[in-house]
Amino acid sequence: MTKRMFVFDAHLDLAIEGNRDLTRPLEEIRQREMHMKDKRDRGRGTVCLPELRKGGIGLVVATQLARYTPPGSSLAGWNSPQQAWAMTQAQLAWYREMEAIGEMVQITNLDELDAHIGLWENDNVADEKKPVGYILSLEGADSLVDISYLYKAYDYGLRAIGLSHFGPGRYAPGTKMEGSITPAGKELLKEMGKLNLILDVTHLTDEGFDQAIDLYSGPVWASHQNVRKIVPTQRQLNDEQIKKLIERKAVIGGMLDCWAMDIRFIDAISDPWQMNVRLENLVDHWDHICQLAGNSQHVAIGSDLDGIFGTEQSPWDMNSIADLQKYQDILARRGYKQEDIENIFHKNWLRFLRNAWS
Ligand SMILES: [Zn+2]
3-state secondary structure of 196: coil
Cα 76 to Cα 13: distance, rounded to the nearest angstrom: 17
Q: Are 341 and 332 contacting, i.e. CB atoms less than 8 angstroms apart?
A: yes
Q: What percent of the chain has pLDDT over 70?
A: 99
- In percent, the amount of the chain with pLDDT more than 90 equals 94
CA pair distance 161, 170, nearest whole angstrom: 14
Residue 27 neighbours by CB distance under 10 Å: 11
**Residue 158 has what pLDDT?**
98
> Sorting pLDDT into bands at 50, 70 and 90, what band is 74?
confident
Q: If you measure from the C-alpha of residue 200 to the centroid of ligand 1, how many angstroms do you get, rounded to a whole number?
A: 10
When pLDDT is averaged across residues 113-123 and rounded to a whole number, the result is 97
How large is the average pLDDT for residues 291-295?
98
CA of 356 to the centre of ligand 1 (A): 22
Confidence of residue 1 (pLDDT cuts 50, 70, 90): low
Distance 125 CA to ligand 1 centre (A): 34
Query: What's the pLDDT at 2?
Result: 76
How far, in Å, from the CA of 120 to the mean position of ligand 1? 27
| Burial call 268-302: b when 16+ CB within 10 Å, e when fewer | eebebeebebbbbbbbbbbbbbbebbeebbbbbbb
pLDDT in the model for residue 290 = 98
CB atoms within 10 A of CB 189: 23
Ligand 1 geometric centre to CA of 308 (Å): 10
On the question of pLDDT at 73 being above 90, the answer is: no
- Rounded distance from Cα 3 to ligand 1 centre (Å): 31
Cα of 173 to ligand 1 centre, how many Å?
14
Distance (Å) from CA 1 to ligand 1 centroid:
34
Q: How far is the CA of 192 from the centre of ligand 1 (A)?
A: 20
Geometric angle at alpha carbon 152, from 205 and 47, rounded to 5°: 60
301: enclosing H helix or E strand: strand 299-301
How many A from CA of 72 to the centre of ligand 1? 23
Global pTM exceeds 0.75: yes
The residue ranking higher by pLDDT, 21 or 16, is 21
What are the residues whose beta carbons fall under 8 Å from the beta carbon of 298, sequence distance 6 or more?
Answer: 242, 245, 246, 250, 251, 252, 289, 290, 348
Report the distance separating Cα 259 and Cα 314, nearest Å. 9
Give the total residue count for the chain: 358
| Residues 45-69 pLDDT 10s | 999 999 999 999 999 999 999 999 9
C-alpha 311 to ligand 1 mean position (Å) = 17
pLDDT mean across residues, the chain? 96
Q: How far is the CA of 140 from the centre of ligand 1 (A)?
A: 9
CA 350 → CA 115, 119, 200, 300, 328, distances in Å? Answer: 13, 15, 16, 11, 18
Distance 307 CA to ligand 1 centre (A): 7
Contact indicator for 200, 160 with CB cutoff of 8 Å: yes
Interval 124-180: pLDDT, tens: 999 889 999 999 999 999 999 999 999 999 999 999 999 999 999 999 999 999 999
> Ligand 1 center to residue 261 CA distance, Å?
14
148 class by beta-carbon count within 10 Å (0-12 exposed, 13-18 middle, 19+ buried): exposed
Quote the ligand 1 centre to 314 CA distance (angstroms). 15
C-alpha to C-alpha distance for 296 and 336, rounded to whole angstroms: 9
Q: For residue 18, what pLDDT is reported?
A: 86
Segment among 9-18, 26-35, 220-229 with least mean pLDDT: 9-18
Whole-number Å distance, alpha carbon 14 to ligand 1 midpoint, is 12
Q: How far is the CA of 281 from the centre of ligand 1 (A)?
A: 19
